[in-house]
Structure 1
Amino acid sequence: MRADSPGHAAKFGSYSLMHMDSNKILDLQLVQSNEVGGSYHMEKEGLRRSLDHLQSNGLAVDYIVTDRHPQIQKFLRDLQITHFYDVWHFEKGLSKKLQKLAKNKDCQILNKWLHAIKNHVYYSATSSTSGREKVANWTSMINHMQDVHTHDNPIYPKCAHADRVSKDKNKWFQPGSVALYKVENTLTNKRVLKDMEKLSHHYQTSTLESFHSLVLRFAPKNVVFPYVGMLCR
């Protein structure tokens, strides 16, 4: 989804569907906010029109990868279409929460782990195929940060990295510490685990984001265009 102005007051929204095997744009819909009662509803309407267009041409949808927009989640769930989340969007939101937490005096040790946790998001998503595998892989991070590399979960019983002796003994979280309690609550709350199950293990939306960057050259967000002008651009 690409809106023509920052924030939630956009006049136009364009919705693009890309076929990830071929990197081809299958459909592009331009929605005007006053058609759907406000800019918040443009994304769902754009997707609905695109899916209707595919269906009218006899194209079946196996699955869709998007960000975690609540309206889109419910819309695709009602249509019984398999929905995966883009890893980058998930990681970006989680990293912001962790960076804020790391500023607390009792959680400064977390600064040493921010990059590793970010990498583990991608590893958990792309090295697993089922939702249970992704969650088992992800939750092993809590043990790993305490220098414990075997786990009770039979789906992921042991860390995949080679056994090695750490040179920095101060980087490990101490069992029962305030820092570990807060970090564990952040990494394993119900919302995070639910989203982790649905992270895409095959394709991401980065290629589509590149296409949107190209569109900006022809339809910059700081210039106002009429509907037909925007559609042509």
Structure 2
Amino acid sequence: MHAGDLVFASVILLSGNNFQKTTTLAKFMKLSFLSSSTFHRIQKTYLVPSIDRFWIQKQDDTLREFENTDVIVLEKEFPEIKHSFDVWHGTKNLDIKLTKISQEKENKELLVWVNYIVNHYWHTAEVATSSEEFLWFVPFANSTFTNGCQNGPLEDGTHSKESTSELENFQNLILMYASKRHSYSPPVYRARNRLAAIDHNAHAEREVMKNRDGSLRWQRSYNKTTSCEGGKQL
């Protein structure tokens, strides 16, 4: 086996790519590339076992870290755990539905209000202390827009304790390593999911990027549906 074959095979798997796309790129660039049989043999013999061993090592390290520490793992053993409405999904679905309605000819005037409504909905979920209070806050009184809403602009990355947006980010990371458009053998699929988990855990506690003056660094982004400008932290 050539050393270059091992490097190419490793890069394909560890970067979340697939062999077919990479070999097509090499073909257009007229580069010599390893064959499909060689790639899958290296993946099965060396790469997947290495990923599995590294995963088990990380698991053992985590178990040692939380040794003699109380950790909640089962819902049946802890029925007193509060199960809350997923605010992030609720806000996202509200945004999608309002945007769809506002695209109808007779509802075009609603489009400019979509961001304000979604913003108010999110803020209400954060400040309300009960479902009854939440339902009381949601209707829009005239003073909401004449005197200004108490909450400021809704910022991407602002999560309440009932949000599962972090889980959604992890699911997207899994799709980067194990796309639904491709099929994998069980060992390879398991290895790709473990790579996603390793990647996620390695960056979970990473600090937000800041400017030289210490302020948070933001990146300009645009809503594909409404063409409205927004921002997100890096």
**Band of TM-score, shorter chain:** 0.3 to 0.5
Give TM-score, length-normalised by structure 1.
Answer: 0.40
- Bigger-Rg structure (1/2): 2
Name the one with the larger helix percent: 2
Name the one with the larger strand percent: 1
Give TM-score, length-normalised by structure 2.
Answer: 0.40
